[in-house]
Chain A
């Protein structure tokens, strides 16, 4: 079963506008973490933001915020004031606790959304 779903293969946004990238997840764990990464064409994976399942506040990091709706199992990334340099692939990922109760720390990734910022 797919655990991380990103339904938008590609998105366009006008420079300086805000954009929301969707992510839904599936887990039966009570404790988990949600991540967003940016991957430009160079291939590196850039950590953007983290949200813990017990965090009551939505995470924010500069122009990035994570709209966490636990009951709906969604963790959408909001990028405010888009810049040309934001054009990249964006991956949502989840860290689960393993069956034996310990978190191995490894991540499960969605298929990604390609964001293109138009001047």
Chain B
């Protein structure tokens, strides 16, 4: 399985500030996915990050609020901008083992609390 790390593992932030979450994979992958899990809820896809192109955002998520970078095939960042308490969630990155995406692995997640 792919080894995926995320930084930070958790953070407590003030309203109106921004936080950048890093996702590092131990092998090269074409696509990386960013998900949000609000308290007590299931996972929702924020965007798909493909190296060398703009991220593709799902309905309800916009680039100004969740800018994503994908500078190479092993790394991506997600920024949560101008945070409000409603952004308090676990943010997870995910990759497929190969191009079939038949095995998909998640990073350990970033637990964000916005005060």
A binds B: yes
Q: Mark A99-119, 1 if CB is under 8 A from B, else 0.
A: 000011111111110000000
Q: Of A10-18, A22-30, A43-51, which binds chain B?
A: A43-51
Closest to A105 in B: B101
Number of interface residues, chain B, beta carbon within 8 A: 24
Asked if A68 is at the interface (CB within 8 A of a chain B CB), the reply is no
Contact B104 A107 (CB under 8 A): yes
Q: Which of A35, A42, A108, A110 makes the CB contact (< 8 A) with B104?
A: A35
Nearest-Cβ distance from residue A83 to partner chain B, whole angstroms: 21
B residues 23-69 in Cβ contact with A at 8 Å? 31, 33, 37, 41-45, 48, 56
Contact B42 A52 (CB under 8 A): no
Contact B102 A33 (CB under 8 A): yes
Nearest-Cβ distance from residue A116 to partner chain B, whole angstroms: 16
Contact A110 B48 (CB under 8 A): no
Contact B45 A107 (CB under 8 A): yes
Contact A104 B109 (CB under 8 A): no
Contact A43 B105 (CB under 8 A): no
B residues 81-115 in Cβ contact with A at 8 Å? 90, 92, 94, 96, 101-106, 108-109, 111
**13 A–B contacts from the bound complex (CB under 8 Å):** A43-B109, A44-B109, A46-B106, A52-B102, A91-B43, A105-B48, A105-B96, A105-B101, A106-B48, A107-B45, A107-B94, A108-B45, A110-B42
